[in-house]
A and B are shown apart, each in its own frame.
Chain A
Amino acid sequence: MYKLLVATTVLVLLSACARLDHVQISDIDQSQGPLIPISVKVSEAGIDLSALAGIADKVKPNMLLEKLHIPAGNGGSNDSENLATLLALINMGPRTGNPVYDDSYAQDVLMQLYVQCPSGKITGLRSIREADSYGPVSGEVVRLDAYCIQ
C-alpha cells in the first residue's frame, strides 16, 4: 500500500498539468492555395518563489534563511513565513502564470515562423499562451501555430 502511494506521488509529481491562458485566432485565407501547417513554440522556466519558500519551510524550517545566511530570530518558523510573504509581495500584481526571469524569450517568434514559410504568406495564425505546470515551477509557453500558403 505504501509503495503504491509513493509510486502514485512520484507519477503525479513527474506529470505536468497543462494550463491554457489565452487563445487568439486570426483570419484564415484558404483561397490562395494549399495550406501547410507551421508552428513555433518557445518556453521559459517560471518560478513561484513564495510557494517554494512555503514548501521549503514545511520540509525543513528556516532552511532558506540558512542558505541566504540570514540568522533566524526567535520566531523560528515565522521567519521563513515572513520570507515567503516578502517574496509574494515582491511579485505582487496582475500576471499570467509564474514569473519568469527573461522578458525577451518570446521576442523572435515571428522570425522563427517566417523561417518555416519560404513564401512569406502566413495565414490562420493562432497565438496561444499556455504553460506546463509542475506546482511552483512551470514552463511558461508561447506557441504560434499558423498555415503557410504555398
Chain B
Amino acid sequence: MSRLFIVLLTLMSLSGCVSLNSLSLTQVPKDRSHLISASAYDWVFLGLTSQNYFVEEAINKLKIQCQGGKLTGILTKHQTTAYLLVFKREVVASGYCQKS
C-alpha cells in the first residue's frame, strides 16, 4: 500500500499541468520557408521570484538565428507548467526569417 502511495506521489510530482498565460502573433509573410524558434524558461519555487529576465533570453536566441535579416510572423506563447510546489515559466517564440 505504501509503495503504491510512493509511486502515485512520484507520478504526481513528475507530471505537470500547463496553463497558457498569453499568446500573440504578428503579421505572417508570404515567404515562409525559413522558420526559426526559440524558448527560454525559469524555475520558481512556490511562485517566489524577483525577476522576469528570462524573456530577454528568448529574444536574443531569435536574433542570433536571423542575423542581418527580418523576422516576421512571430508567434509568442507565454505558459506556466505547475509541478508539485515548483513552477516552470516559459516563453516560446517562433517566426519566419527573411534575408534579402
Contact = CB atoms under 8 A, between A and B. Distances in A.
Interface stretch (A23-31, A58-66, A98-106): A23-31
Interface string B21-64: 11010110000000000000000000111111001101100110
Interface residues on B, range: 20 to 34
A20 B21 contact: yes
Interface of B is mostly: mixed
A17 B51 CA distance: 8
Contacts of A23: 21-22, 24, 55, 76, 78, 91
Interface of A is mostly: strand
Interface residues of A, number: 21
A27 B99 contact: no
Interface in B70-95: 70-72, 74, 76, 78, 89, 91, 93, 95
Interface of B: 21-22, 24, 26-27, 47-52, 55-56, 58-59, 62-63, 66-72, 74, 76, 78, 89, 91, 93, 95, 99-100
Interface of A: 15-18, 20-31, 124, 126, 128, 130, 145
